[in-house]
Structure formats: C-alpha cells, structure tokens
Amino acid sequence: MGRLENKIALVTGSGNGIGRATAELFAAEGAVVYVTDVDAAAAEAVAGGITAKGQTAHWAAMDVSKGQDVSSVMRRVKAEQGRLDVLVNNAGLNVRGDFRHMSDADWVKLREVNLDGVVRVARDGFDLLRASPSASLINVASIMGSRGLRQLTGYSATKGAVVALTKGLAFEYAPFKIRVNTLSPGYVETALTERILRNPIFEKWLIDRTLLKRLGKVEDIAKAALFLASDDSVYMTGAELVVDGGMTASL
C-alpha cells in the first residue's frame, strides 16, 4: 500500500522538472494526481505516462497567474473529487539579470507567477483542502528565498515572500486541520537552471559549496515533497524543509 493511497493531489507546474517528478512519485504511491501546467501538451503527456503505468492521473492547462484558470481547475476538482488532500504550489519561473536593469514588466511577470500564483492557488484551494480529513499544502520556494546572489534579486524576493506567506497560512489554516509547509530546494538540474549550468565555472562553484558535492536531482525534491504530503509529517506545519545537499550549511 502506497503512502498516498486514496489521496487526491494536485501539483502545479507539473509538466516538467520537479513538478513532473513529484506528480509521478505521488501517483506511484497511490494518489489520484491532477497534473497542471501552463503548457497543456506537457501536462497531457505527463498524465498519459502515469496512466500508461496503470496509475491514476488527470491533466489540465493552468496558468497560475490567471485567476480564471485557477478557479476553473478548482471547480473541476470539486465536481470530480469533492476534496484535495495534497496541494503542491510548484509552478515558478525566473528572470535573470542585474536588478538595476529589471523592467517593470519583468518584475510583474516574476511576481504574478512566483508569488501571486501561490497566493491564488492556496486561497482558491482552501475549501477543497478543508474537506479533507488530513490535508497538506506544500509551497515550493528556494534556498534563494533567504539568500542573495547576483542576477537573482527579483527571484529571491518572490521566494522569500513565499516562505513568509507559508508561515502565515500555517496559522490561518491550522483550525481547519490543514498543514502548510515550505519546501526549499537548492540547485537542481532542471530546465530552469539549464542555461546557467552550461557555464562549467559556475557549476563547479556551486558543487564546491555543496557539502554532498553534487547538484540535486528532481527525484531528491520529489521524495521530500512526498514526506510533506504524507502522514509521516503529520506534526509539521509552518516549517521550511530545505533540500540542498548542505549548500546553505556551508555558506
């Protein structure tokens, strides 16, 4: 019996990377998974791969920066399932560049997905989570939410806000038996980091500062998400789970 047997889970941004690995692991552990992504074809492909293994998945196109998209998907889940046991706020993006040159449009783009999207999904998913006897809301942030690095100032600001938001939501949602935690990955090999990791000097710099001497894999983060999603973490709320190979401990 899987650790998420008979659970209903929704993972945003699960068409690739960490979100995809998380959706696939949740399904393997027995959950009915809703795969959502701004890229409809990617979401459909991931859900198709899950169902081909005899597991259960549904897919939906959802841009978390658009309120109508989020509301529509939540209404569908309510009609089909009546509840959510696990909600993973994973969708995110990055706009790299020196902050002094960041345009208003780039800042709005970052904020609308990385912060406003998390707010929107957490808020619109509340009634579905409240209907669960043991609900878990997981907000994916980043170790950069508490650190600064050149060309990542805007990204860091949005992820730091997610960490703070999670603590507030833990207070607000606790009376409804909804646990709310932050999952903060370190540097992981994904499409989001592919461009910067092409620079061997920077990649070596990162690995040298990581105690386990390697970059993270999407499966490493998915396993941590499974812990927060399952009843193994039933006494955790308002916490930040850092999964970074020891990078922050060495800085």
Q: How far apart are CA 161 and CA 114, in angstroms?
A: 9
The yes-or-no answer on residue 173 being catalytic is no
Helix (H) or strand (E) holding 59: strand 57-61
CA angle in degrees (0–180, nearest 5) for 14-16-20: 50
First to last CA, the chain: 41
DSSP character at residue 99:
G
d(CA 179, CA 172): 10
Contact indicator for 137, 82 with CB cutoff of 8 Å: no
Determine the length of the chain: 251
Angle at 94 between CA 210 and CA 187, to 5 degrees: 15
Question: CA separation (Å) from 72 to 13, 36, 121, 127, 239?
Answer: 16, 12, 11, 14, 30
Q: What are phi and psi of 20, to 5 degrees?
A: -65, -50
Q: Which of 155, 173, 187, 235 is catalytic?
A: 155
Residue positions annotated with a catalytic role: 155
